[in-house]
Structure 1
Amino acid sequence: MFSLHSAQRFRAVLTGVALTGLAVTAAPGLASAAPASAPSRHATRVSAVDAIEDGAARSLALSLGDSAWRHQVADALSQGKAVGLRGLTAGSATKGAAGLGAHIAKADRQVADAKGLGADTGSLLRARLVGAAVDGVEPLVASSPSDDNATAVVAYDSTGKAYDLAADRAPDRPVILVDVDTDKATEAGMMVLRQELAAAGLQAPVSAPVNTAAAATGFWTTRVTAVTVKDVQEPWFKGSAEIFDLVTGFGLDGKVRVDTVTMPYLDDANKTYYPNQILVNWSLYKYNLADVVMMEDDGDTNYSSLAKALAAVLLTITDQGAYIPLVNAVIDAMPSSWWTDDPDYVESWYTLATTTTGTRTGASGNGTMTFDRYWVSAL
């Protein structure tokens, strides 16, 4: 699946939205909030993170029965920015927040575990407002499904009643979406990836080069001067996704090497960014060729499982005295269930060389990057 999720895409809708008149009332014309039926609620894949988010969303909805807490949540979300749920509950003395706080703290720990992150990762669940406010209408609370192909999004009101929201169009009533802080999760996930890849021998320490005098002067890199990913019309319930690259080649020890590079700035599709970011450090590789696989985490990626899957496949590849492209091996390492949305494959670039410059479109035609050679001088 080729996708790019962007919270910024919804900012025009969210800016200036305020939750007013939050009494529990039924309003006519809100066809997108139909009562949920059992078949539609189970029509799409439910991952561990999906289930945890859904439970947190229902608990948040029930807590909004406390009017004082409801108004505090309304104020916190009225500017359209995502707010961490643990911090939101900790900062309130209301009855609703007190009842919700323990559930959110437990859910945060469960999300970290499901994503293969450490127990010290901290708060990961957050809430944001989607959709225009309607006077006299209480917001529903939903979680963001990890499946882009979901046909309905299950939401709850403050009595716990479930509704199906149409997944193919933005809701016409305010909806509070509960999802994972992918910025924070990806930062922690990259640490897990690096640690586990190193432990598996896929990020071996750099050996001393033969020409130590030349190495002391610096090293050549491939730098990304521009990057664009195409728009694929993401559903309204998707928030921001973190883009990361797996750079693969053969290390100086002759074994397959995997390095990770994050692109946190890459928020909007069909927009060109100019990061001047180093992608490949050629001093780490035996050959003058490397491959790049671009992926994204929109909340459901288990980084520990990803590292183990990569190691299981890549450690079977041996140096034959010439460069072997590794993109297919990386893709083959992904369990078939992950291709639903966990993590998403975005694009790949085969056989980048130390001399590669100019703009190159990826193998799937979904993204382009412009490269130049960049010399990093030693201090």
Structure 2
Amino acid sequence: MTVGQQLRTALCGVALTGVVLTTAQGLAVAAPAPGGAAKASPVAAAEDAAARALARSLADGAWRAEVGRAVADGEEVGLGALAAVSRTGAAAPLAADVARADRSALAAKGLAADTGGLLTVTLAGDAGSRRAPLVAVAPSDDEASAVTAYDTAGRAHALDASEAPDAPVYVVGIDGEKALEAGTEVLERELAAAGVTTDDAAAATGYWTSRITSVSVADDEETWIKGDAEIFSIVSGFGPDGKVRVDTVTHPYLDQAGTTYRPNRILVDWSRYKYNPADVVMTEDDGDTDYSALAKAVAAVLLTIADLGAYVPLVDPVVDALPSSFWTDDADFVDAWYTLARETTGTRDGAGGNGRFTFDRYWVSAL
């Protein structure tokens, strides 16, 4: 598939109009997939193991009530920490299971063991329903029409991925904000070690930047079970030394599609770049992103590009560097901006029409 085809495919979004697999109440026992299930990613496998363990543990009424109270406000709760502090009978074995799953998830994402637990639980579906809760994990396939959820007996149920069910569902997932913060540190560190990004001394008198005054995305490809998006941008250009450089910028505030955010945060520090233009690729961590592998892939491609005395757009090489799995449930492509300049102000739509930035020029004075 060519870069152009990849871009068009990524920008089409996810069509969740497949076959409805639910009964009138929104639940049905799932049938085995023909030919066997597709191999899950290591992160998805860790999430699934934790979800099954949590579902079994909810047979303990006292623990079930404790979990219900912890997630009642809809916020993400650290699953390992929740189980570790509980004195109910089901919590101790669950804590051990979650600890193992957390170690697997951290390793799969290229993050250090001291990052802390990543697995979380939150409440989705109809919180007011008196029906017994189920435990689910977001599907690793963005185009999946069904979500598998487990009951306390270990039975699997299929939920419609496009519509929240009329039963309470505990969703096991990854703490995206923690993973993104730790992951971009890994990304920057490994890119620097590969020679793509270098430390820069601040200009003596200050420097010009492109500041984001507003940003929005039309579609972050998140269904009811996935919750908020975790979006970051890869800014690329040529450094003052003539070598390709990459900077990462996180957008922790950019949670919901169709909402305009006004962060007033810097996207491009122009003192780091030799030429006037720079490029931006906006991506989303859906949970499976291996930041160490991403850094190696980006570095391997960009280090082959030489400075020939004129600016060369770098969006296509960056997109080419994303492993093929990134077009499923790893770092989803959101949009790209070619040739942003120091003088760029006002609103700029991304090349795919999915993202929109509004910029102003902002001078950062030296201390």
Matched, 1:345 2:333: yes
In structure 1, the partner of 2:320 is 332
Q: Does the 8 A contact of 2:77 with 2:120 survive in 1?
A: yes
Q: Which moved more, 1:132-141 or 1:337-346?
A: 132-141
Superposition TM-score, scaled by structure 1 size: 0.88
Q: CA deviation at 1:3?
A: 9.1
In structure 1, the partner of 2:363 is 375
Aligned residue for 1:38, secondary structure, equals coil
Gaps of 5+ in 1: 6-28, 209-214
In structure 2, the partner of 1:69 is 63
Over 3 Å counting, the alpha-carbon distance change for 1:287 and 1:176 in structure 2 is same
Distance 1:96 1:41 in 2: 35
In structure 2, the partner of 1:38 is 32
In structure 2, the partner of 1:226 is 214
Match of 1:259 among 226, 243, 247: 247
Over 3 Å counting, the alpha-carbon distance change for 1:345 and 1:317 in structure 2 is same
Distance 1:102 1:41 in 2: 33
In structure 2, the partner of 1:87 is 81
Distance 1:324 1:310 in 2: 16
Matched, 1:249 2:245: no
Once the two structures are aligned, what percentage of the paired residues are identical?
A: 59
Matched, 1:116 2:110: yes
Matched, 1:184 2:178: yes
Matched, 1:292 2:280: yes
Matched, 1:129 2:117: no
Over 3 Å counting, the alpha-carbon distance change for 1:135 and 1:193 in structure 2 is closer
Runs of 4+ aligned structure 1 residues displaced above 6 Å come to: none
Q: Does the 8 A contact of 2:238 with 2:275 survive in 1?
A: yes
In structure 2, the partner of 1:282 is 270
Q: CA deviation at 1:146?
A: 2.7
Over 3 Å counting, the alpha-carbon distance change for 1:30 and 1:70 in structure 2 is farther
Q: CA deviation at 1:231?
A: 3.3
Q: Which moved more, 1:29-38 or 1:106-115?
A: 29-38
Over 3 Å counting, the alpha-carbon distance change for 1:94 and 1:133 in structure 2 is same
Distance 1:40 1:227 in 2: 43
Distance 2:315 2:59 in 1: 51
Q: Does the 8 A contact of 2:129 with 2:168 survive in 1?
A: no
Over 3 Å counting, the alpha-carbon distance change for 1:2 and 1:341 in structure 2 is farther
Q: Does the 8 A contact of 1:144 with 1:179 survive in 2?
A: yes
Matched, 1:60 2:54: yes
Q: Does the 8 A contact of 1:4 with 1:267 survive in 2?
A: no
Q: CA deviation at 1:371?
A: 1.1
In structure 2, the partner of 1:354 is 342
CA deviations on 1:54-95 (whole Å, 9 max, x unpaired) are 111000000111111111011111111111101110110111
Over 3 Å counting, the alpha-carbon distance change for 1:358 and 1:46 in structure 2 is same
Over 3 Å counting, the alpha-carbon distance change for 1:3 and 1:242 in structure 2 is farther
Matched, 1:302 2:290: yes
Q: Does the 8 A contact of 1:4 with 1:296 survive in 2?
A: no
Q: Does the 8 A contact of 1:45 with 1:147 survive in 2?
A: no
Q: CA deviation at 1:207?
A: 6.7
Aligned length: 350
Q: Does the 8 A contact of 1:203 with 1:257 survive in 2?
A: yes
Aligned residue for 1:163, secondary structure, equals strand
Q: Does the 8 A contact of 1:207 with 1:253 survive in 2?
A: no
Distance 2:87 2:201 in 1: 57
Q: CA deviation at 1:276?
A: 1.0
Q: Does the 8 A contact of 1:4 with 1:229 survive in 2?
A: no
Distance 1:121 1:246 in 2: 22
Match of 2:257 among 258, 269, 285: 269
Q: Which has the higher contact order (CA 8 A, sep 6+)?
A: 1
In structure 1, the partner of 2:95 is 101
Q: Does the 8 A contact of 1:247 with 1:280 survive in 2?
A: yes
What amino acid maps onto 1:130 in structure 2?
A
Q: Does the 8 A contact of 2:222 with 2:229 survive in 1?
A: no
CA deviations on 1:341-368 (whole Å, 9 max, x unpaired) are 2110101100111111111111001111
Q: Which moved more, 1:142-151 or 1:330-339?
A: 142-151
Distance 1:68 1:328 in 2: 54
What amino acid maps onto 2:77 in structure 1?
V
Gaps of 5+ in 2: 1-9, 15-22
Q: Does the 8 A contact of 1:251 with 1:257 survive in 2?
A: yes
Distance 1:147 1:50 in 2: 10
Q: Does the 8 A contact of 1:348 with 1:362 survive in 2?
A: yes
Q: CA deviation at 1:123?
A: 1.1
Q: CA deviation at 1:205?
A: 2.5
Q: Does the 8 A contact of 1:41 with 1:164 survive in 2?
A: no
In structure 2, the partner of 1:78 is 72
